[in-house]
Amino acid sequence: MSQAFRLPFRIWASLTIRDRLGLLALVMIPGVLGGAFVTAIGIAVLGPSVLDFLAANLPLVRFFVAATAILLLTVPTAFVLIYLELKVIARMNLRVGPNRVGPLGAAMSVIHGLKVLSKEDFSPSGVDVTVFTLAPVVTFLASVMTLLVIPFAPGIYGQDFNIGLLYFFAMGGLTVLGLLMAGWSSFNKYSLLGGLRSAAQIVSYEIPLTLSVVGVIILTNTMSLNGIVAAQSGSIFDWFVFKQPLAALIFFIAATAEANRTPFDMTEADSEIVAGFATEYSGMRFGFFFFAEYVNVFIVSALCATLFFGGWTAPFNWPWPATLNGFDPYSLGVLGWTAIVLVLIVGGTEVLAPLIRLAGGRSWDMSSTIWMAFAVTIVIGLGALGALGFVAFGWLRGLVWFMAKTYFFVITFVWMRATLPRIRVDQLMGFAWKWLLPASLLNLFVTATAVIILNR
Amino acid sequence: MDRTLKTRLEARLGGHLRAPVYQRHDETEIRIDPGSVPEVLQTLHDTLDLRFEILADLAGVDTGEVMQVVYHLWSPMTTDWLRIVVDGISRDDPRVPSATFLWTGAEWLEREAYDMFGIVFEGNRDLRRIFMPPDYTSFPLRKDFLLPDDAARSPGAGVRHVEKPHVTVPPAEPATAIRRAPVS
Amino acid sequence: MAVGDRGTAGAGRPAGGSASRQATGPGATGRAASGNAPARKRASALTARGPANLTAPVVVPNTLWQAENPLAYDGGQPADITHLHEFGLTDAGRVDAARWGALQVIPANADYILDLIRANSLWPLLSGLACCAIEMMSAATSKNDMDRWGMFPFRASPRQADVLIVAGTLTTKMAGPLVRLWEQMPEPKWCVALGDCTVSGGRYKRSYSAVQGIDRVMPVDVYIPGCPPRPEGLIYGMLQLGQLVKDRRGHWSEREIGPTVPDGI
Amino acid sequence: MPTRPSAPRRPNARATSRAERPAPEPVASADDPRIMLDRQLGTLYEPIPPYPTRTEREGEFYSLGDGEMFLNLGPHHPATHGVLRLVLKLSGEQIVDVDPVLGYLHRGVEKICENSDYYHVIDQVDPLEYISSLFQEWPAVLAFEKLMDVQVPRRAEYIRVLSGELLRIASHTLFMGFLALDLGGLTPILYSFIERDEIVEMLAALTGARMLFNYYRIGGVNGDLNHEFMSRLGDWMSRAGKQAEANTALINENEIFVRRTRGAGVLDRATALRFGVTGGNLRASGVPFDLRRAHPYSVYPELEFNIPTRDEGDSLARYLIRVDEIRESIRIIDQCLNNMPDGPIMAKLPRLLRPRPGRAWGAVEGPRGMQGVYAISDGTDQPFRFRIHDPSFVNLQTVPALLPGNLLADTMATVASLDPVMGGIDK
């Protein structure tokens, strides 16, 4: 029996690579064809009812789509942030930073990620394996799920809870659970210290973080982030950073501590507790923590931009109407846009090639001239399309503004990391309880009083 | 060299000196017995015209026949280094009173001397190996602890230097080149 | 720059190594040949064949030197750190899972891409033993920036490091902790011997407490001589290591432990 | 924290036989903390060899109160400046007691020096003080010159002072960087290394090596000032002061840095003297003890410079002392360049040195304190006894007195402010 069971594997092992690929193709082509046939039949038969079902509960569909998109976009975001940090800190250190892999070393963070992914995956002796395995997942998911309520642009958000802010803080609070699990489960005193530090730190900074936002909630009468952004639409002076400066400051400080960033990176203090809660983690388990940290940075920056800096709203009233003097970009449809793009590319190449030939003189042969013209056309065309879309589509405009504000805060975090030393644990706690909490209470009191007086 | 220091020393601790005060360059050297270490150090430290406050160094010396413990002291009252040679310590059972009652900093220096020479400082509350592993049993800087001519020739050298317990051997054979000390 | 590549005749591999490996037996736990009875060891070695020879150490048996005072210096004692040999004798280390990590599903001809990835992100372990550590830091700082090749950040925890740069003299007291560090690093991992003391004992050949070359206690991929080598030397060695990784060499379960440097040096 | 059963301890034969020192009753073998420490550290593999009898201090340290735990810092730790191992007894994050364990870098240099001749000794002592190795050669050549009654040419003395002060600046700059790094700041260490690299490249032009310059000779120095060194030196001196100001300004006004270091690890005057602390750590405690003035040894009497002292004795004071000493060193370098005499750089010496039997003690003021060498000659070409006194060894001894009561985070800051170099400590 076992021999018969092993036989296919032996055959497979005896084949060469080309034979294996051929065999795979032989198996897959009929499979694909049959699958396509069955799908066609299924669509023909069940199509209408499925469409009705989807149309019936659209929010559910939207939710699933958004969740999938967020899960897919999280890791690339982390990669971008890691590369940003590598380069910016390197420049601040008068170094060059990664510049060998990819243009300007842009692929370095991806390479790091893949390498971490391919390291040996094991749990050391003495650890509580279940908790040890679950901890990175909890941390990562807790930070990813908070992305669900952030409005990236008008109409582009995962879910618009009316308690979105509450949901955000609840999910953010779950992060400490993962860190605590990691610190406890890995049989290591450094990890234990790191986990407990993170617990104390995050728990005590949750309070000023939440209290500093209450002022905004009072002003807007809503906890939905879309509502808060909508309340700030208009000119730059409608942003809450001007109405609630103290709250903005408190929120930024507390958010830094919430994301475990310097100068509050007690939990992975290199020079004190070796790597904190992640000391015993290797391979992809460590990678999860690694990504979660940077996703946290992104989320915190995004929330800063959303709450106090107007989210996706432009800092000034956009002069042009969303539709260009009656021309509706949607009216052309896909075919129209494709035709336009083709004509632009071909025509641009035709126009540019002689110019480049003239400019380059004899140094350019024909093929390189045409390729050059093509590339230049593509660049110009993409820029033009981007500008058109920026003018025409409100969501693209909002996305651009939102990302600009978010990455401003991301770079601020990186800057702080390169500059500031780390503060001690007791100073951390004292700062939270002696300064931030009274300040946030004062801010709340002043705001409430002002609202009552002005409404009367 | 400071001639007045010589007279001061002879005046203060004449009874303890087992050899005439010896001066060369900027160093003044006295030789005492192990028994008289505490009062000599106390006198040197407390007397107003000596005031040797800073313990510069504490070294053990193995002359081949006897052990020595050498203190170097610094004082603001003189331009000389004072060297105290505690002489005549037996190699088989070397024992010296500790100086930690006066200088806490002597503790590790004495630990080092114990680690390298096996000199037992009575009164040191933490006299254990400081450099070699705790289960190490021989004393490297003794003169009967010879380095190999070429350690590289010895197979597996150095990976874990397994040593025999230090039995109190008589001064080793003339074949093992113990160089006689200039003074004894 | 000597690149120890597991005995496949390669750069810097001394010719004496393979011959002496024949001379040394399976050495049951890969122990060094004792200087007292070299002849017996040879006989047993000639009878022994098979994969054991791959993991046997390369130790030139001592026929010339006798301890002048065996009471004081007892040469010829075997290493008591032999678990790496025992692990190598088993096939446990030869499982390719360690090589694959979470990417077990990818067919084996994607291996080269993995090696390219690994060669381009070698995270060193932040562990300095002695003088060379300063030059190691200097190689990571602004003037000559190792980060350009992705050899940064220096990880503080061995669980997340790829390369163990042994920078400085390894003493017998530190040998145990260092081997423990090496074992705590996850596969695939590489070891770089930085400086004369780690390559062959260097100026401490005659010391009573220094390990005569770290390849007596752990496998080494790249040897960087110099006392200390300049930071450029370290960077060159790390680039050599990257080449060695691309060539899909240097997995310690396939490497033998023992001095790959002839003892005469 | 999950507890792991530890293997039973092997019966200890020697502990019973050694009756001379009274030992406290041994801890139950099941949970001997030292065994558990060694298991975590991995220094020993089974079977655990027997320990010698425990001393009084060991007995009081390796016994846990309730709510206390041991924590191993090192020998591999990102911030222990080498292979220092600190066994901390913690309650929560507060340090109850510290037991430094040394010897992980013990290379037996003294024994090697006693077996190599006088020329090689100077090369052998280099790696001890590996951040500023010239200050390890200086006392050796000083002691040997006393042994041989050699008169060093004045130009050689000036060159020694010049190179030494340059290296003192490099060492202090690195100290600042390391202190900031242990406090969590990433950038200052890189700026410090830029400065240090300039200086060591300059010295490499003079001596031929970047770190282990084998430069000082008995009766002089190895090579005369050359053009590349002088040009690099002039280039560097033109902005040395500004550069030092810039590097220090990066952390001096930093609120976090000041709050972390002020009042941390206070070492008062009496304790410092009792411990025999020397160097900047002693001057930070208010004792103006600097061998360059207290026991002048080279051409320092001809040079004018101040001995900065402070009274606080905390980490911040130890840091600021270094900052001031950098300025003073720049002054000294300026004077050396101004009145650098002409003449030979080596005294006439035989090829094979056989000094008359005698004893000599040479001590200089290194960046970390008093570097001393006690050499005994027996008439052969090798020193009969070569004793190296290292300041870091004595300064580190104050750690058990400084740390208790502080937090875990202060450990590295305090140790870094003492500026130890493990090569010198472990010899």
Q: What is the pLDDT of residues D34-73, one digit of tens each?
A: 555 555 555 443 333 344 456 778 778 877 778 888 888 8
Dump pLDDT digits (tens) for D222-242: 888 889 999 999 989 888 888
Q: Is B182 exposed, middle or buried (0-12, 13-18, 19+ CB in 10 A)?
A: middle
Q: Which of D101, D122, D154 is the last residue of a domain?
A: D101
Q: How far apart are the CA of C57 and the nearest CA of chain A, in angstroms?
A: 26
**D207 in a domain, yes or no?**
yes
> Does A330 score more than 90 pLDDT?
no
> Does B137 score more than 60 pLDDT?
yes
> Does D272 score more than 70 pLDDT?
yes
Give the neighbours of chain C: at least 3 Cβ pairs within 8 Å: A, B, D
Looking at the structure, do residues D221 and D358 belong to the same domain, yes or no?
yes
Assess contact for D80 and D400: CB atoms under 8 A. Answer: no
> Does D265 score more than 80 pLDDT?
yes
Top CATH class of C2-254 equals: alpha beta
Q: Give A172's Cβ-side CA count (13 Å radius).
A: 30
pLDDT at residue number A30: 84
> Does A316 score more than 80 pLDDT?
no
Which range (A377-391, B41-55, D25-39, D170-184) has the least confidence? D25-39
Radius of gyration of the CA atoms of chain B, in A: 18
Q: Which of D85, D101, D117 is the last residue of a domain?
A: D101
Amino acid at D225: L
Dump pLDDT digits (tens) for A432-441: 899 999 999 9
Instruction: Report CB contact under 8 Å: C180, D42.
Output: yes
Domain ranges of chain A: 62-320+407-455, 329-392
Looking at the structure, do residues D247 and D280 belong to the same domain, yes or no?
yes
Instruction: Report CB contact under 8 Å: B155, C32.
Output: yes
Q: Which of D101, D119, D145 is the last residue of a domain?
A: D101
Q: State how far the Cα of D406 lies from the Cα of D419, in Å rounded to an integer.
A: 18
Nearest to D246 by CA among D176, D182, D162, D183: D176
Nearest to D360 by CA among B34, B28, B5: B28
Q: Given B138, B153, B162, which is nearest C263 (Cβ)?
A: B153
Looking at the structure, do residues D317 and D352 belong to the same domain, yes or no?
yes
> Does D387 score more than 80 pLDDT?
yes
Helices (H), D285-421: 291-294, 315-338, 391-396, 399-402, 408-418
Assess contact for A231 and A299: CB atoms under 8 A. Answer: no
Percent share of chain D, pLDDT over 70 = 87
* Mean pLDDT for the stretch of residues A186-214: 88
pLDDT at residue number C75: 38
Q: State how far the Cα of D302 lies from the Cα of D338, in Å rounded to an integer.
A: 12
Give ∠ CA C235-C238-C243 in degrees, rounded to 5. 130
| Better-predicted residue by pLDDT, C109 or A307 | A307
Looking at the structure, do residues D82 and D124 belong to the same domain, yes or no?
no
**D327 in a domain, yes or no?**
yes
> Does A26 score more than 90 pLDDT?
no
Assess contact for C259 and C4: CB atoms under 8 A. Answer: no
pLDDT at residue number C31: 37
**D6 in a domain, yes or no?**
no
pLDDT at residue number D55: 76
pLDDT at residue number B136: 74
Q: What is the mean pLDDT of chain A?
A: 83
Residue D396, helix vs strand vs coil: helix
**Best of D267, D298, D385, D398 to mutate (most B CBs within 10 Å, chain B):** D385
> Does D138 score more than 90 pLDDT?
yes
pLDDT at residue number B157: 39
Q: How many domains does chain D have?
A: 2
**D136 in a domain, yes or no?**
yes
Look-up of token digits 């560097």: D236
Instruction: Report CB contact under 8 Å: B151, C205.
Output: yes
Q: Report the phi/psi class of residue A84: left, alpha or beta, with left for phi > 0 and alpha for psi in -120 to 50.
A: alpha
* Mean pLDDT for the stretch of residues C225-236: 90
Q: State how far the Cα of D282 lies from the Cα of D276, in Å rounded to an integer.
A: 9
pLDDT at residue number A363: 64
Q: Does C210 contact D at CB distance below 8 Å?
A: yes
pLDDT at residue number D51: 47
Q: State how far the Cα of D384 lies from the Cα of D377, in Å rounded to an integer.
A: 5
* Mean pLDDT for the stretch of residues D297-309: 90
Q: State how far the Cα of C219 lies from the Cα of D318, in Å rounded to an integer.
A: 43
**D172 in a domain, yes or no?**
yes
* Mean pLDDT for the stretch of residues C250-259: 47
A2 pLDDT band, cuts 50/70/90, is low
**Best of C173, C200, C214 to mutate (most B CBs within 10 Å, chain B):** C173
Q: Is the ipTM of this complex over 0.85?
A: no
Q: Does C187 contact A at CB distance below 8 Å?
A: yes
pLDDT at residue number B71: 93
Q: Which domain holds residue D81?
A: 13-101
Radius of gyration of the CA atoms of chain D, in A: 23
Looking at the structure, do residues D175 and D26 belong to the same domain, yes or no?
no
Retrieve residue B42's tokens: 């106390």
Q: Given B152, B160, B175, which is nearest C172 (Cβ)?
A: B160
Residue B77 with chain D: CB contacts under 8 Å: none
| Better-predicted residue by pLDDT, A62 or A306 | A306
Top CATH class of B3-138 equals: alpha beta
pLDDT at residue number B84: 92
Q: What is the mean pLDDT of chain C?
A: 65
Retrieve residue A168's tokens: 């955000």
Q: State how far the Cα of D300 lies from the Cα of D296, in Å rounded to an integer.
A: 6
Percent share of chain B, pLDDT over 90 = 16
Looking at the structure, do residues D79 and D131 belong to the same domain, yes or no?
no
* Mean pLDDT for the stretch of residues D7-13: 40
Domain ranges of chain B: 3-138
**D156 in a domain, yes or no?**
yes
CATH number of the CATH domain containing D161? 1.10.645.10
Q: State how far the Cα of D317 lies from the Cα of A49, in Å rounded to an integer.
A: 80
Residue D68, helix vs strand vs coil: strand
CA dihedral (C11, C14, C15, C18) positive or negative: negative
Give the neighbours of chain A: at least 3 Cβ pairs within 8 Å: C, D
**D5 in a domain, yes or no?**
no
Assess contact for D203 and D236: CB atoms under 8 A. Answer: no
Dump pLDDT digits (tens) for A82-132: 899 888 989 888 888 888 887 788 888 888 888 888 887 777 877 888 888
Any idea what DSSP says for residue D407? B
Q: State how far the Cα of D155 lies from the Cα of D153, in Å rounded to an integer.
A: 6
**Best of C34, C59, C60, C172 to mutate (most B CBs within 10 Å, chain B):** C172
pLDDT at residue number C40: 38
Strands D85-91 and D68-73: antiparallel
pTM of the model: 0.78
pLDDT at residue number D31: 58
Helices (H), chain B: 3-12, 37-46, 106-117
Residue D110 with chain B: CB contacts under 8 Å: 116, 141
Amino acid at D71: L
Looking at the structure, do residues D24 and D70 belong to the same domain, yes or no?
yes
> Does A354 score more than 60 pLDDT?
yes
Nearest to D212 by CA among D142, D137, D138, D127: D127
CA dihedral (A388, A391, A396, A400) positive or negative: positive
**D7 in a domain, yes or no?**
no
Q: State how far the Cα of C258 lies from the Cα of C53, in Å rounded to an integer.
A: 12
> Does B40 score more than 50 pLDDT?
yes
CA dihedral (C40, C46, C52, C53) positive or negative: positive
Which range (A181-190, A342-351, D195-204, D388-397) has the least confidence? A342-351
Instruction: Report CB contact under 8 Å: B152, C33.
Output: no
* Mean pLDDT for the stretch of residues D119-131: 88
pLDDT at residue number C56: 44
pLDDT at residue number A203: 85
> Does C44 score more than 80 pLDDT?
no
Q: State how far the Cα of C120 lies from the Cα of A49, in Å rounded to an integer.
A: 52
* Mean pLDDT for the stretch of residues C118-125: 88
Assess contact for C33 and B154: CB atoms under 8 A. Answer: no
Look-up of token digits 């702080």: A416
Assess contact for A391 and A319: CB atoms under 8 A. Answer: no
Assess contact for D133 and D127: CB atoms under 8 A. Answer: yes
Residue C149 with chain A: CB contacts under 8 Å: 98, 100
Q: What is the mean pLDDT of chain D?
A: 83
DSSP string, A280-297: T--HHHHHHHHHHHHHHH
